[in-house]
Amino acid sequence: METTKTEATIRTLSQQELSLLIRKVPILSRLKPEDLSCLGTVELVEAPAGTVLYRQGQTGVCFCMVLEGEVRAVRYEINGVETPLSVFRDGDTFGEAPLLLGVEKSGVHCETAAPTRVLRVDAEGFWRLMATCPTVRQGVLATAMERVHTFQATTLHQEKLISLGTLAAGLMHELNNPGAAAKRSAALLRESLGRLQDISMRFCRSPLTADQAVCLRDMQAEVLAHDKAKPTSSLEEADAEEELANWLESIGVANSWKLAPTLVAAGWRRGDIECAQEAFPAETLQDALNWLEALISAMQQLGTIEESLSRLTELVIAVKKYAYEDKSGEHVVDVHESIQSTLIILGHKFRHKQLAIEKDFVADLPKLKTRGTGLSQVWTNLLDNATDAAPQGSKVRIRTWVENGQVCVGIADEGAGIAPELRDQIFQPFFTTKPAGVGTGLGLEIAKRIVTAQFKGTIGFTSEPGRTEFVVKLPATTGIRD
């Protein structure tokens, strides 16, 4: 422990002084005078408000008992946010949980909020007390267990909020792209329809000949049929645009640079529009080709709007399926649909790192009949980890198969792998191999808890440089009444 105020005083207590003070600490009040020696050296810390007793990540851990005053414990997150954890007042103790967990440095920041008097016992004295005094040991363990549960619940809640925030941000990104595309295409469609109307009115003022009407009708039918071959490469498209633009310019079309890209993208070539050159004189050929370009453009924008709305619908369905699995009671889960929904929601992360997703799904994979919930959270955590581990532009492979009546899912990345000395700790809570500020150390622990407790399955992994695969095995039926 450390103090930051010069006014704070620290002194070692005599047995006589200690025998009077321990009555203020419920956990020690039943100690007999002859048992006080088991505490070893006990220090009295008297500190004004604002004194730092524990500095997060720096101060060694001691067992502390508040005689009077108030001590507030907070945790500083990587992003600078301060998370309140607990307030210790008269008779409360703190420091037992990290000592029992074998933590050497404090994981929290403790500071006095009022003038405070604290009894302090070092780690050696704490373990001597635990070994020689069953009554105190029972109280300490009960308090420590409650502290650990509270801390885990707080951190778990934070992990879920982080996961939810990540999914929400990704979903907004996914929804924004097709939404923006649809809005942009609607504006272009309005422009194309306006040009079609203007040209049609000009045709009405100068009635079309029979050949001209047939030519426009045939071109319209071809546009609506969507059966023209599109360019197969950017190079082919560029060459075709240049060729068509040069020909259009040679026959007197003023805006050939604008017409050529639209016509070529839709599969039109010189031979497809020669009827217009033959049917329309030079003064009206421009209108005929502009009419054709506006019609093709309108159809293209309609196609973009349809694709955008389909993408939005796909995302909504994916979110519904993602959330649907968390319903209670007996239900059926399609593992392939569950994975696919998660892939859609996390799509922005894969595109950001230019990852290829390779799916090797077995046909006729049995559906799960279960009472378990949260399977999408398992895929989310495993795929999120695979994305973080995978090198830029590499591949993430997802495969499914059936083994001994179990539904099996493997998620593999091409990252550096997990070091052998770390593999035993991978599923431990708060352990992470990610850089500071990237992982909370709860993703795999949550995944394992869901797989084993909710679905009565197993989760494991194999790892070597260039390939790490997590494998989930789930009984086809869990928790269903016969």
**Amino acid 248: pLDDT:** 83
Q: pLDDT averaged over the chain? A: 80
- Give me the count of residues in the chain: 482
Q: How far is CA 95 from CA 8, 91, 116, 236, 389, in A?
A: 20, 14, 16, 72, 36
Residue 259 and residue 372 in one domain? no
| 151 part of a folded domain | no
Q: For 99-113, 152-166, 207-221, 448-462, which range has the lowest pLDDT when averaged over its residues?
A: 152-166
The CATH code of the domain that includes 84 is: 2.60.120.10
203 and 301 co-located in one domain: yes
* 238 is a domain residue: yes
- pLDDT at residue 122 above 70? yes
C-alpha 103: how far from chain center: 30
How many other β-carbons are positioned within 10 Å of the β-carbon of residue 411?
22
- Taking Cα atoms as reference points, which of 295, 245, 291, 290 lies closest to residue 270? 245
Residue 439 contacts residue 352 (beta carbons within 8 Å): no
CATH number, residue 435: 3.30.565.10
Residue 242 and residue 338 in one domain: no
Average pLDDT estimate for 281-299 = 85
- What percent of the chain is modeled with pLDDT above 90? 16
Give the helix, strand, coil percentages of the chain, each rounded to 5: 50, 20, 30
Q: Which residue has the higher pLDDT, 143 or 433?
A: 143
Coil vs helix vs strand at 436: coil
pTM over 0.75: no
**Is residue 292 pLDDT above 60, yes or no?**
yes
Residue 180 and residue 183: Cα distance in Å, rounded?
5
Q: Which residue has the higher pLDDT, 167 or 98?
A: 98
Q: Per the domain annotation, does 2 fall within a domain?
A: no
Q: What is the pLDDT of residues 358-397, one digit of tens each?
A: 999 998 899 988 877 778 778 888 998 899 889 999 999 9
Angle in degrees, 0-180, between the axes of helices 335-345 and 375-389, rounded to the nearest 10: 50
User: 69-118 pLDDT, tens per residue?
Assistant: 999 988 887 666 777 878 899 988 888 888 887 888 888 889 999 999 99
pLDDT exceeds 70 at position 157: no
Within-domain flag for 153? no
Q: What is the pLDDT of residues 413-452, one digit of tens each?
A: 999 888 888 888 787 765 565 554 445 556 788 788 889 8
User: Nearest-CA neighbor of 336 among 379, 299, 372?
Assistant: 379
Which domain range does residue 215 map to?
175-311
The top-scoring range by mean pLDDT among 7-21, 225-239, 252-266, 446-460 is: 446-460
Residues 298 and 418 in one domain: no
| Residue 440: strand pairing partners | none
pLDDT at 6: 47
Say yes or no to pLDDT of 462 above 90.
Answer: yes
**Predicted local distance difference test score (pLDDT) of residue 325:** 56
Residue 152 belongs to a domain: no
100 and 15 housed in the same domain: yes
226: region left, alpha or beta (phi > 0 left; psi from -120 to 50 alpha): left
Question: In this structure, are residues 306 and 336 in contact, taking their beta carbons and an 8 Å threshold?
Answer: no
What distance in Å separates the CA atoms of residue 471 and residue 119, rounded to the nearest whole number? Answer: 50
The H or E element that residue 317 is part of is: helix 282-324
How many distinct structural domains can be found in the chain? Answer: 3
- CB proximity list for 62: less than 8 A, separation 6 or greater: 1, 95, 120, 121, 122, 123, 126
Is-contact 116 47, C-beta < 8 A? yes
